[in-house]
Amino acid sequence: MNEWAFTLCMACVLAGGLELLMPRKEYEKSIKVVVALYILVTVLQPVRVAFSDWDSLWPSEQTDTVDFSGYRAGLEQQALEEQLEQALAAQGLDGQIQVETGPPLTVTARGCTEPERAETALRQVLGEGEEIEIKAEGPSNGT
């Protein structure tokens, strides 16, 4: 308690000295607010020490985080399939694209009337790489 009282007295002395050193007219209200807050914080110091274990008073429950990575991967796969189907349509080719992620990225174009052209068009969009496998299949004959 003696230490707290001494700290409070020193805060008041420092606040008074600060007020004497600062210009009066322009910043008088601002300086008084800052000094009052400084003294208030000093007065409340024992309360802060008493509640230093604030988190232990109300233990927070661990909330389970939701993992959206699978949903995101599905959206990315769907967007890639749509982009590749649009690239085929721009070349005048039909076909349904199926993408399988993972090393390697496997792109299969089914129902293409010209599988070689479809494979070339997909390769232009996806680029060259060892991690990309492209398959183009002709239309199925229903058997």
Q: Crossing angle for the helix pair 2-21 and 28-43, nearest 10 degrees?
A: 170
Do 42 and 84 have their domain in common?
no
Give the pLDDT of residue 138: 82
Q: Classify residue 126: in a domain, yes or no.
A: yes
pLDDT at 95: 84
Residues 44 and 94 in one domain: no
Residue whose structure tokens are 């400084």: 38
Domain count, the chain: 2
Asked if residue 33 is part of any domain, the answer here is yes
Q: Which domain holds residue 9?
A: 2-51
Residue 113 lies in a domain: yes
- Answer yes or no: are the C-beta atoms of 100 and 109 closer than 8 Å: no
pTM confidence score: 0.51
* For residues 84-107, average pLDDT: 86
Are 84 and 134 a contacting pair, CB within 8 Å? no
Residue 33 in this model has a pLDDT that exceeds 60: yes
pLDDT value at position 1? 66
Domain annotation covers residue 99: yes
Residue 69 lies in a domain: no
- 28-32, 35-39, 118-122 — most confident range: 118-122
Give the tens place of pLDDT for each residue, 42-79. Answer: 877 777 766 666 656 666 666 677 888 889 888 998 99
Q: Is residue 62 part of a domain?
A: no
